[in-house]
A and B are shown apart, each in its own frame.
Chain A
Amino acid sequence: MASTPPASITERLDAINEFDREPVSEDALQGPGNFIGLYAGEHVAGTEFVIGPLFVAHGVAAGDLFLGLLVGNLLAVLSWAFICAPIATRTRLNLYWKLRKIAGPNLLFVYNLVNAAMFCFLAGSMISVAATAVGIPFDMTMPGLDDFYPNSVGWVVTVLLVGSVVTVLAILGFEKIAYFSKIAAPWMFLVFVACGVAVLPQLGVTSLGDFWTVANEKIWTGEPLSGRIRFTFWHVMFFAWFANMAMHIGMADMTILRYAKKWHYGFASAFGMYLGHYIAWVASGILVALALQNASEVAPGPIAYLGAGVAGLVAVLLAGWTTANPTIYRAGLAMQTITPNWKRWKMTLAVGMITTMAALFPALMMRLLDFVALYGLLLMPMGAVIFADFWLLPKLGLRQDYAEWKQLLFSLPAALAWLLTLGACLLLNLVWDVEIFFLGLPGWFIATGLYVALSVAQQRRVPVPQSSTPTTDFLSEEIT
């Protein structure tokens, strides 16, 4: 039997994304309700059971937490609305195709690999979260906040079990689980609220007037746990802003917002931020404060049980599972470019195994704040490249989508902007001790500046005709 010659990387990537090649058509555009539901569901997830407690562990003060979350989440919403959505609604393309035009297919391949690796680790932390719920009936020794390696045979067995089930279900049907996730979302948000409210009397809050005193004295005390740096208003604000850096200024949500009728549907992200990244983080922080007061275990499963009993355990399990499932699926899609002849199920199985191995290390869950910051930082520069290519290059008389026009496989300005930005961020971290939570902002400006400067150098060498891509004034009109 004759064998098919191996396809190039470009052909493999394009085959996977073939369906999304064309801009979204007019009749496929969606109203604001879809985006409100989508953002509200996506940001009330398993990670929320970990992030709220980690703020408590880092000794943030109550005032800093409430104000930092208010401002940081507002900045995140503005980033979606003013940076990601306008480009998404003008191009109607997903991140893959837009980046392919700018960066060339070979650089996009590298980006996909980095993205897939990050997805694997993210899904791994979610499997860890789910395992803390499954282990409770079996009296499993829970990992502590400072555990790096697996701490018991029970933990290893539970993670392997949960990881296997999640992987098999991801293989059997992504769409059904995505639908189940949609059903679970409103219930899960209410579980967070209920958990937080129900345990307040055990912390000494018997009336609304008591809350602020107890919040300062027993929950967000300003005193970090041993081995943790103290978080200030700025840590909270920047973390809230950049928790989804890859999605807004990193432009990954072009994939979603390209379906929006209007650019201002980007403001729908407020429902995800203020329900998930405000109320749910506050609620899970309250839960861990009770666990610390009782000297009991602080893992997501045990603290949810403190708040809601069996329903809390189910919520942790579902939150971890429904977040891990699409993440494994996305990682599988990105990885498929390496092994094009593998069936989708085989690729999902391989990704599930890598993810489960990562989940064995509780550090992934207990150091989630650092990991989330790193994840966003690694991918953000390419979002800045898209921003600069779309808005700034035409103003300078340069051509947009240069790699596509010149039929380049690899855009040097985009690659150097990416690498040099990460190098500059590393330098800021190592030499000037700028913590990882604060690197996104200077990093974005560095990436934008580098890409513009390098594009000038590239395109001025050989004069090129003006771009034929239509661009309008900022926020004034949309190409629909």
Chain B
Amino acid sequence: MGKHNFGYFFHEGLSNMFSHGFMSFAAIGITVACLLIMGTFTLVAVNANELLVDLEQENEILAYVDDTYSDTAAKALQSDLEAIPNVASATYISKEQATADFSAEFPEEAMFQDLDPEIFEDRYAIKIVDLEKMSETCRAVEQVTGISEINAHEEIAGGFITIRNVATVVCVALIAILFVVSVFIISNTIKLTTFDRRDEIAIMRMVGATNGFIRWPFVYEGFMLGLLSAVIAFFLQWGLYAAVAQGVDNNDTMQLIRILPFQQLWPAVAGIFAAAGILIGVGGSLSAIRKFLQV
């Protein structure tokens, strides 16, 4: 493709886009909507995943040591616990330490101060690697001789895992459906352009234009429609995300939810939107022009 052809293709693609203003507007609108829905679900999944990682880091299993075990015997359990798959670390907390921690947690409650350590048990604070394997890890910890009981928030972990998995499945399904819808709409928009220009295409073919020469202006048109949609969708997504983050921040009941700042996500969002927009635009163009190039 020569330099002068690049200019010609670009000019033709741009003028096609404007000469079918309404259809171009419709195609951009639909693609923006599709990208926004795809982007929103992806960002929900990303944030859910991030919360899960936080929870994995914060959530710990408390494993209580049998009362009959001496301090030395209790400490000796550490290697058994750390040998369990999915256990990241097992920290020994003596009953004295547990008493002190508890009192420190409620400094203003007089009745929780000066407690007798004997009402507490020696314990291990166990951190795990993968929250999804929490149940089986709990069962394995319970099996260790010397562990009398465990305390773990399995339901909370399960809830987060369900949210993440549902968000991921919905996200993937929506992305697939919306991608096909966008390609179909862009394809039909460009089909109208090609139909409007069928005489021109027939003449080009008759004088010996190659399929590539005929195809390029339509590819450029699709490229520009896709890219423009991606740019618009990016800024709308930014605004939407900022508004939701602000709303969550201001809501007292949602203080547990930490929303990732958009500044941390924008390069990935911009890249994915641009790639998806261009792919939708160019894919739609190629599928539209294909039948006009068969003879």
Q: Are A and B interaction partners? A: no
